[in-house]
């Protein structure tokens, strides 16, 4: 039963209620989590290769496709932090923000943080693609996979954000 309060001349009017929660389609939660998990695996592999100094990439080393050249270039770190490690932290953080409970959370700062993080990831990816194409003159297939996953995650998060309102997950 709706709560009432006295209105003009003693009339009862319903008390204002919170806006209903907008449900996020189930595909959003499932696909965002799947993309994050794939990103964790690949970024973990790239981090392992970087930290161990290994050059055993499952990637050809010819003129254009050359993972070792990309991952050992001056663009493989940002202020001394390996880009691969940044990717690992990025996907770990977004995994937490894309858990079903996080999608159900009505906290607006969480929605903003998720969208802001996904946007930051895409901006970094655009910089790294520029570096690969125009500075390093080589492409890393593993890095390209991370770039694609980052763009896909941004797309999913942006669509969910565009649905508007406090979000909660439901199965579809």
User: In CATH, what number is assigned to the domain containing residue 42?
Assistant: 1.20.1440.130
Q: What is the C-alpha to C-alpha distance for residues 135 and 156, in angstroms, rounded to an integer?
A: 30
Domain assignment present for 59: yes
User: How many folded domains does the chain comprise?
Assistant: 1
Token pair for residue 168?
Answer: 């909660």
Domain assignment present for 50: yes
Domain assignment present for 6: no
> What does pTM read for this prediction?
0.81
Only one residue has tokens 């209105």, namely: 7
pLDDT in tens, the chain (172 residues): 445 555 555 555 555 444 445 678 889 999 999 999 999 999 999 999 888 876 677 777 777 899 889 999 999 999 999 999 999 999 999 999 999 999 998 888 999 999 999 999 999 999 999 999 999 999 999 999 999 999 999 999 999 999 865 444 444 4
Domain assignment present for 24: no
Domain extent, residue 135, equals 32-163
Domain assignment present for 15: no
Domain assignment present for 128: yes
Q: What is the C-alpha to C-alpha distance for residues 98 and 138, in angstroms, rounded to an integer?
A: 33
Domain assignment present for 117: yes
Q: What is the C-alpha to C-alpha distance for residues 113 and 30, in angstroms, rounded to an integer?
A: 19
Residues 6+ apart with CB under 8 A from 24: 103, 160, 163, 167, 168, 169, 170
Domain assignment present for 68: yes
């Amino acid at each position: 039963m709706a709560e009432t309060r006295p209105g003009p001349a003693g009339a009862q009017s319903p008390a204002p209620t919170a806006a209903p929660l907008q449900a996020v389609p189930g595909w959003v939660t499932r696909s965002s989590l799947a993309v994050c998990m794939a990103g964790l695996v690949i970024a973990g592999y790239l981090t392992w290769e970087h930290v161990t100094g290994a050059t055993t990439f499952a990637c050809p080393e010819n003129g254009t496709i050359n993972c070792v050249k990309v991952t050992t270039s001056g663009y493989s770190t940002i202020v001394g932090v390996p880009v691969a490690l940044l990717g690992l932290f990025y996907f770990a953080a977004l995994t937490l923000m894309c858990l079903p409970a996080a999608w159900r959370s009505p906290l607006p700062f969480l929605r903003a943080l998720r969208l802001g993080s996904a946007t930051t990831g895409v901006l970094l990816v655009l910089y790294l693609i520029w570096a690969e194409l125009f500075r390093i003159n080589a492409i890393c297939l593993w890095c390209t996979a991370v770039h694609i996953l980052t763009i896909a995650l941004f797309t999913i998060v942006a669509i969910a954000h565009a649905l508007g309102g406090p979000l909660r997950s439901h199965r579809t």
